[in-house]
Amino acid sequence: MMATRGLAAGSMGFAPGLWRWAALGFCVLTLIAAALAFAMPASAGWEGLVLVAGIGAVGCLVLYAVWPKATLAAADAQRVAEAAARANIAWAITGADGAVLDCNPVYRRMAGAADGEAPPPPELALAGEPSSAVLYRLTRSAAERQLREESFQVAPGLEIVAAVRPLTGGETAWWFTPRLAGMRNAAITEPVSAAVPLGISAVFRDAPMGLALSDGKGVIAEANAAFAEFFGRPSLAGAKLLDLVDAAERNAVGELLAGSGSSTTEIKPLQERERIAELFVHPLNDGRVVLYLLDVSEQKALETKFAQSQKMQAVGQLAGGVAHDFNNLLTVIIGNSEFLLMRHPAGDPSFKEINEIHQNALRAATLVGQLLAFSRKQTLQPKVLGVRDVVSELAVMLKRLLREGVELELDHGTDLWPVHADEVQISNAIINLVVNARDAMPKGGTVTIRTANETVAAPLALGSAIMP
Cα(65)–Cα(68) distance, integer angstroms: 7
Task: Express each pLDDT in 291-312 by its tens digit.
Answer: 888 888 888 888 888 888 777 7
Q: In this predicted model, which residue has the larger pLDDT, 188 or 318?
A: 318
Residue 381: what are its φ and ψ, rounded to 5°? -125, 75
C-alpha distances out from residue 231 to 71, 173, 202, 211, 270, Å: 57, 37, 21, 13, 7
pLDDT of 137 above 80? yes
Residue type at 232? G
pLDDT at 418: 92
Residue type at 334? I
Cα(363)–Cα(35) distance, integer angstroms: 121
**Burial bucket for residue 72 (CB in 10 Å: 0-12, 13-18, 19+):** exposed
Which of 22-36, 225-239, 359-373 has the highest average model confidence (pLDDT)? 225-239
Q: In this predicted model, which residue has the larger pLDDT, 398 or 159?
A: 398
Return the SS3 of 417: coil
Cα Rg for the chain, rounded, in angstroms? Answer: 42
Q: Which helix (H) or strand (E) holds 227?
A: helix 225-230
Residue 323 in contact with residue 371, Cβ under 8 Å? yes
User: What percent of the chain lies above the pLDDT cut of 70?
Assistant: 66
Residue ranges in 290-386 assigned as alpha helix (H): 297-343, 351-374
In the DSSP assignment, the letter for residue 245 is: B
CATH number for the domain formed by residue range(s) 209-295:
3.30.450.20
pLDDT at 34: 59
The CATH homologous superfamily for domain 90-203 is PAS domain (3.30.450.20)
pLDDT of 103 above 50? yes
How large is the average pLDDT for residues 141-149? 84
Domain 298-379 belongs in CATH node 1.10.287.130? yes
Task: Express each pLDDT in 393-415 by its tens digit.
Answer: 888 778 878 888 899 999 998 88
How large is the average pLDDT for residues 317-344? 83
Binned at pLDDT 50, 70 and 90, residue 52 comes out as low
Cα(366)–Cα(396) distance, integer angstroms: 14
Long-range CB pairs of 98-102, under 8 A, 24+ apart, other chains included: 98/123, 98/139, 98/282, 98/284, 99/284, 99/285, 99/286, 101/2, 101/171, 102/1, 102/2, 102/3, 102/6
Which of 84-98, 185-199, 348-362, 376-390 has the highest average model confidence (pLDDT)? 348-362
Task: Express each pLDDT in 262-277 by its tens digit.
Answer: 667 888 887 776 788 8
pLDDT at 47: 56
pLDDT of 230 above 60? yes
pLDDT of 201 above 50? no
Residue 56 in contact with residue 64, Cβ under 8 Å? no
Return the SS3 of 328: helix
How large is the average pLDDT for residues 115-138? 76
Long-range CB pairs of 218-223, under 8 A, 24+ apart, other chains included: 218/242, 218/253, 218/254, 218/257, 218/289, 220/291, 221/288, 223/291
Q: Which residue in 218, 194, 225 sits closest to 128, CA to CA?
A: 225
How large is the average pLDDT for residues 2-19? 40
Residue type at 8? A
In the DSSP assignment, the letter for residue 302 is: H
Q: Are strands 158-166 and 172-180 parallel, antiparallel or unpaired?
A: antiparallel
Cα(27)–Cα(50) distance, integer angstroms: 16
Q: Which residue in 268, 336, 274 sits closest to 304, CA to CA?
A: 274
pLDDT of 346 above 70? yes
Q: Are strands 90-94 and 172-180 parallel, antiparallel or unpaired?
A: antiparallel
Contacts of 224 (CB under 8 A, 6+ apart): 204, 205, 206, 207, 210, 211, 212
Return the SS3 of 37: helix
How large is the average pLDDT for residues 147-170? 75
Binned at pLDDT 50, 70 and 90, residue 154 comes out as low
SS (H, E, C) 57-92: HHHHHHHHHHHHHHHHHHHHHHHHHHHHHHCCCEEE
Q: What distance lies between CA 195 and its chain's CA centroid? A: 31
**β strands within 95-187, DSSP E:** 100-103, 148-155, 158-166, 172-180
pLDDT at 192: 36
How large is the average pLDDT for residues 8-28? 49
pLDDT at 93: 86
Q: Under CATH, which architecture does the 382-468 domain have?
A: 2-Layer Sandwich (3.30)
